[in-house]
Amino acid sequence: MLRPIAFCLLCGAVCVESSVVFAEPPGEKLVYRTIQGGDLHVYVSKPDAWKPTDRRPAVVFFHGGGWTGGAPGQFTEHAQYFASRGLVCFQVEYRLLDKSAKEPPESCTQDAVAALRWVRSRAKKFGIDPRRIASAGGSAGGHLAAYLGCVDVAASANSAADAADQVSAKSDAMLLFNPVYDNGPGGWGTARVGARYPEFSPLHNLSADDPPSIVFLGSKDKLIPVATAEQFRDRCQQLGIESELHVYEGQPHGFFNANRSGGRYYYETVLAADEFLIRLDWLSGQPTLQKPELGATSPKASSGK
């Protein structure tokens, strides 16, 4: 199935006209939530050797787009690569905000929580370890990934609620690509969240039980200052949480995408993320991502199912 997707240059993907048609992300397409009369989907990429009895780590990806645009396909190359390394990967579709309204990203965070709970509650079906589920994303999707790691969400008090609503929505690691994780005064998204920023801002919800993280940021990012990333890293380390920050000199917002700079920074950031997961004992062996050739338009990566 094909559908039109309008990407946002500001949030890291290629800006094109909405009439251009792109293939949906590869992998198994499943409904994880039905709300407001519509289905929300997740796209699942599995390793070639996958079987239901596995207990593999997993990564749940959230696309960028300022909470108002973008599509799950932004992380297709990432999902395929990490599936080739043995992880089960999920790309999440979530509700988008009206660009003209000033509503906070409540529906986006609700969908992110629902998606993580849906994945964890079906760990046996997907052959994954429910205690090794990473959240990952870029820009506004990086916000959602960091939200899952840092903002504590209570289980539903409704006894009639779906069993998944009782499952923890907290991720076990975070892979964050120029994330907008400071929504407080002066941070990104303040116009939407206003005085409610403590409900949404990962930076303002850090606590000692939060998971380890790796963050990628360009030094010329006009949305997320390097100082904000340093503050997040330093605060994590003060709390005893492992947190790495990788700053790429001269790079703007969205530099990490596979279709930028001939795949150079996609390669460098994914390689660092792979090594981070090795240190967490989520992956073994050496990274297999091939370094892009000079002038190449896209990186080469092994494919998963």
Residues 6 or more apart whose Cβ sits within 8 Å of residue 130: 120, 123
For 57: left if phi > 0, alpha if psi spans -120 to 50, otherwise beta; the answer is beta
Averaged pLDDT for residues 194-207: 97
Residue 11 is assigned to a structural domain of this protein = no
Domain with 31 in it: 25-279
Binning pLDDT at 50, 70 and 90, where does residue 300 land?
very low
List alpha helices for 139-283, DSSP H.
140-150, 190-193, 197-200, 226-238, 264-279
Residue 259 is assigned to a structural domain of this protein = yes
- What phi and psi values does residue 92 have, to the nearest 5 degrees? -105, 135
Percent of the chain with pLDDT over 70: 86
Predicted local confidence at residue 161, as pLDDT: 55
Residue 303 is assigned to a structural domain of this protein = no
**Token output for 270:** 């994914």
CATH of the domain at 217: 3.40.50.1820
Q: What is the pLDDT of residues 83-128, one digit of tens each?
A: 999 999 999 999 999 999 889 999 999 999 999 999 999 999 999 9
Average predicted confidence (pLDDT) for the chain = 89
Residue 4 is assigned to a structural domain of this protein = no
Averaged pLDDT for residues 63-77: 95
Q: Say whether 37 sits in a helix, a strand or coil.
A: coil
Binning pLDDT at 50, 70 and 90, where does residue 158 land?
low
Residue 297 is assigned to a structural domain of this protein = no
Predicted local confidence at residue 112, as pLDDT: 98
Whether the per-residue pLDDT at 294 is higher than 80: the answer is: no
| Total of domains in the chain | 1
Q: What share of the chain is helix, strand, coil (3-state, %, to 5)?
A: 30, 20, 45
